[in-house]
Structure formats: C-alpha cells, structure tokens
Structure 1
Amino acid sequence: MTASGPNSGLSAPLSPSLAERVRGSYLGLAVGDALGATVEFMTPREIAHEHGVHRSIVGGGWLRLKPGQVTDDTTMALALGEALLQARAIDPGAIAEAFSAWMRAKPVDIGHTVRAGIARYRRTGDTCMPVEEMSAGNGACMRCLPLAIATLGLDEPRLRQASRLQAHITHNNALADAGTEAVMLMLQGLWRGETLLLQLKQQVQPLAQAYPAYGFRRRPCLNPTGFMGHTLRVVFEGLFDSENFEQCLVTVVNRGGDADTTGAIAGMLAGAAYGERDIPPRWLQALDPTIRQQCISQANRLLALAPFELAASP
C-alpha cells in the first residue's frame, strides 16, 4: 500500500489551518454526499453510460433529489453535532433523542439498521444495541465527524469509548467499530497537519492487519455495498491514489454502489487533508445553502468547545 500526492510526504504542510481543515471536512462530507447520491446504487458501467465521468452536483438519482440536496449521511451527522452542542457533553441519551427526532422529521433516506436501532431505543430507552456479529454496516461511520471534533484533545481510549457510545445506538459490531475509530483518528491526525502517508502507516495498515476486510490493495472495489469493508476500501483507494480533493471524490463516487456514503466519508477525509480551499467552488455553490451554512457553523462551534467530556459509559 502506497500513498501519492503533494500531501503524502512526511513533512507537515504549513497550511491550511486547523479550523480550515475542520470546515473542509464538514463541507467535504456534504459535498461528497450530494455528489454521490446521484449515482447511488448504479454500477460503474451504468454511470459511464449515463454520465460519462460523473463530476457535477445535479441531484436526481433514485431518491430524485434536488440539485445540491443531501441525504441521511449529512443530516444525521448534523443531528449528532447539535446533540453534542446542546448537551455540552458526549451523552448517549441526548444523542439517541436527537436521532429519534431526526427520524421523526422524515429524512429523505434512512438505513434499515439505523431505523431498527432508533425504534429499539424508543421502545426500551436502551442506547446500546445488542452485538450484531453478521452486521457491519457503515451507518455509524458516515455520521462520526462531529464526534471526531468533540474528542479532539482526548486520549485514544476515550476517543474509542466515545465512538462506541454513539455507534452502538444503532450499530454494534467490532469490525465496524474498528473502521469508524480509524476514520476518527485519521481525521484528527490530518487536522493536526499530519500527512496521508503517516495515516496510512499509523491507522490504515494496522486496521487492515487486524481486519483483512479493510485490505484495499487486493483488487479494486467496484460497486461497494453498505458493508464497512467495501466502504473504506473504496475510500482508501480514492484518498491515497489522488492528488487533490476533486480527484479523490470523483474517483470514489464513480465506483457507484453506496456512493452517497463513500462520497461523504471520502469528503470528510479529503477535506481534512487538503482544507476547505481545495473544494471546487462550483461544488460549494451547488450545495444547498442552508446545509452549507449549517456545516460551517457547526464545525466552528464544535471546535471552539472541544474537547467534550464523556457523560456516561455504555
């Protein structure tokens, strides 16, 4: 596994700043979601036939979105972020309530595992789903960005604990936990100005050694499902084989499959690596303006208050 691009050396870049990288992650999440949603559930061949190389935020897709509209990936992350800000702590009860309110508002899309977890919380008040050995979906990872900001300054054990507090409301699986926590650690490293090559060595390679499903150099992953192994393989392939934000996102979403989520997670990481100024202006202009402002505001507010305390244990 190798990394390429201007941010792949061992020396930390002088810019962008921490705040620019954090905002880049939030905007990258929404941009990747909106870009990928158009081709969600399509194969690469179908995408090529209909779009050539898909590189424009135009809406449509199976959800028949308006141009610039986002899906559950972005709106659920924003719900998590608001729960953190209102509680001023990492409180699984507050997070579960926010997810319940989010579902009550009838989001444009919602995954089966997410729906089941929220429904169970409503019935029982339990914020921890039973262990699901056969289910390793990407629903907890797609929304983890606010928590990565909230845990800036905490040690790694507390970051992992915080990740599981939010993830297990809907997803309780060791493989999915490991992938989500690796993404959070990568985000924090990139925000601090660490390089992609360092993230490859410190996070991705150990993750793939512990969980071979994340080994992304075996063969290209085309048409990824919602399985975390597929999701992060596509994200890692796009991230480490690209030179900038746009190239990464275009590479990822043109794989099709669960493209809104692969696009969202790739957008978080590429935004952290390259900063908000590297996101193509045409994509930012096409993004729903309310969502764009919410992303900027939430990024700034979470960063100003980090780190957040853990309010409870699972």
Structure 2
Amino acid sequence: MPSPRNPAPSVLTRAEAAYLGLALGDALGATVEFMTPREIRAQYGVHDSIRGGGWLRLKAGKVTDDTTMSLALGHAIVAGKGTVDALACAQALDGWMRSKPVDIGNTVRRNLVEFRRTGTPCAPPSELDAGNGAAMRVLPVALATFGADDATVQAAVRAQAHVTHNNPDSDAATELVAFLVQEGLRGASRQAMYRRRIAPFLREHPQFAFRPKRRDNPSGWIVETMQAVLQALLDTANFEDCLIDVVNRGGDADTTGAIAGMLAGALYQPAALPARWLNALDPEIAKATRAQASALIDLACARSTNGESDGAPRHD
C-alpha cells in the first residue's frame, strides 16, 4: 500500500470516481424511481439525463438517501480515524434522520427509532429486513477498510449494516458490494471481479442468480436489487452504459443506480464519468464526495502503513 501522505493516484482517483458514481447513479435513478420500464420508455424514450423530477420532485442534480446516508456514515468513520464503530454509525444515521432527509426507507426508520429507544446499535435479526438499505451506503466502509483482510472487511460491513438491517441476505450482498468496490480500487477488470468475487458468491448464495432472465422493475428487496446491478455491470463495457441500463429498468432505480454507480466508478475511473452528468450534479454533493473519498483512503493507507489492525469494528 502507498504511504498515508501519498496514496497511489490510481487508488485515490478510483475512490473518488466510486463516490461520485454513487451520487450520479442516485441522481439519475431518482427521476424514474418506482416507474416501470414501459412507463420510462413512454415518457423519456431512454432516460439518460440528470433532469430531476420523479416522485420526490427533486431539482436536477439533487440526490436521495443513498448518497446522504453514505456521507453521514462516512463522516462518523472519518471522525473515528477509520474505525467502523457500531454505536458511532448508529448515532450518525440517527442524526441524519433527525435532519429530515428527502427520503427514508421504512426499515431504516423503524430500526433507528428503536435505536433511540434502546441505545443498542444493532437491530434484531429479521427475515423481513432483507432490503437494500445497508448495501447502498456501504461505500465509506469499503474505502476505510481497503487493504484489510476479508474477515475485517466483513465485520466492519456488518457493524454498519446491522444498525438497520440484520439479515443474512443483506449481509451477504452488502459484503459483496464492498469487496467489488475494493477489487475496482485495485484495478481489477470486470472479468476478474466475476471470477474472484461474483462467481464464488453465486455458488454460496444461489438465490442471487441473475442469468438468463433480465431483472426489470427491481424492488427494494436486496436479491432483486443485486440481480439488476450485477447484470448491468457485467453486460455493459463502460460507466455510462452501465448506469443507463440499470436505471431504465425502473423500480428502485435510485438505489440500483447508486450501487451500480459506485462499482462502475471504481472500475472505470473518473475519465469515464460523463461530463454532462458531473456538471449537472449538485456542486456541494460533488465536493463532499470527493473530500470524503480522499479522507477515507488516507486513513486506510495510514492503517496499512502503520501495520495497524484498526478499521476493525467496535460494538461497545
């Protein structure tokens, strides 16, 4: 790993592209969230512009809970010098909810209200909590634990995920997203991502299989979300095509867009991000994502250089 004061440019730029990719996918997908592919075609033909609107009536370039939750979580990790602390994560997400965000999922709301009542930063295990809310905000954890061993990454992912989503399918998918981001940071190709991470994941969790049927109109269920994301990632060859493919499937399009965006951003690097989308993105969000990506990668590099095991989760 590079030194903390001089992280390898490819790692840092890929991390920034991943964070910007998350925000771009969120902003692009929000316009067509809850629409069907047929409705999207009737209204837009192909939806390929950051234009705002949608059921949330957003201004062009504004983002939803996918991006703002990630930034809240990342702020807590930076404040903790790279440690993914379960209580700090819960407090950060609770603070985010108190800020009256533009949107919030039912599972997130319910379990954060329970955290307020009990002070326990871990929701009870539930078969009903297999939503995509933990996966969509996992990027700062993936960046902070870059260079750590798989067990450390998995534990950190679950520390943040279980604040609101304590479910085996959610855990498996959220860990996969983090690992795929890290593969992208290392410069892996799509084929290498599939071979190293996706194929073994599908063997262990066959419910996520996405071949041969295309997953259109994906719901907030993590299985459908990941089927759409993985299919779009593997069936396209650049950042723009990946995001256009996945958001035009409709359904929970801001989240499929956000997850696909972080993966494709890490894979394809900043030069692949369309200038027209970057110019349309809320400047404050663009600035915040770049700054947080840099801070998290610096912390990851410092941990690796110092030979520390920090970055591992804490549950006290």
Tell me the SS of whatever aligns to 2:135. Answer: coil
In the alignment, what sits opposite 1:7? none
Q: Sequence identity, in percent?
A: 52
In the alignment, what sits opposite 2:25? 32
Structure 2: how far apart are the matches of 1:96 and 1:158?
19
**Letter of the structure 1 residue corresponding to residue 253 of structure 2:** A
Q: Please report how far the alpha carbon of residue 202 of structure 1 lies from its aligned counterpart in structure 2 after TM superposition.
A: 1.7
Tell me the SS of whatever aligns to 1:27. Answer: helix
Does residue 50 of the first structure (1) align with residue 43 of the second (2)? Answer: yes
Does residue 68 of the first structure (1) align with residue 61 of the second (2)? Answer: yes
Does residue 312 of the first structure (1) align with residue 305 of the second (2)? Answer: no
Structure 2: how far apart are the matches of 1:275 and 1:133?
37
Q: Please report how far the alpha carbon of residue 256 of structure 1 lies from its aligned counterpart in structure 2 after TM superposition.
A: 0.1
Structure 2: how far apart are the matches of 1:16 and 1:211?
35
- State the Cα RMSD in Å: 1.3
Does residue 260 of the first structure (1) align with residue 262 of the second (2)? Answer: no
Of stretches 200-209 and 295-304 in structure 1, the one that deviates more from structure 2 is 200-209
Size of the aligned set, in residue pairs, is: 300
**Unaligned 5+ runs, structure 1:** 1-14
Structure 1: how far apart are the matches of 2:11 and 2:180?
14
Tell me the SS of whatever aligns to 2:179. Answer: helix
In 2, are the aligned partners of 1:190 and 1:273 still within 8 Å (CA)?
yes
Aligned match of 1:18 in 8, 11, 27? 11
Structure 1: how far apart are the matches of 2:90 and 2:129?
20
Tell me the SS of whatever aligns to 2:128. Answer: coil
In the alignment, what sits opposite 1:296? 290
In the alignment, what sits opposite 2:3? none
Tell me the SS of whatever aligns to 2:102. Answer: coil
Cα deviation, 1:43-79, whole Å, max 9, x if unaligned, reads: 0000000000000000000000000000000000000
Q: TM-score of the superposition, structure 2-length normalised?
A: 0.93
Q: TM-score of the superposition, structure 1-length normalised?
A: 0.93
In the alignment, what sits opposite 2:4? none
**Letter of the structure 1 residue corresponding to residue 312 of structure 2:** L
**Unaligned 5+ runs, structure 2:** 1-7, 304-309
In the alignment, what sits opposite 2:269? 275
In the alignment, what sits opposite 1:192? 186
**Runs of 4+ displaced beyond 6 Å:** none
**Letter of the structure 2 residue corresponding to residue 143 of structure 1:** R
Cα deviation, 1:225-272, whole Å, max 9, x if unaligned, reads: 001111111111111111110000000000000000000000000001
**Letter of the structure 2 residue corresponding to residue 288 of structure 1:** D
**Letter of the structure 1 residue corresponding to residue 74 of structure 2:** G
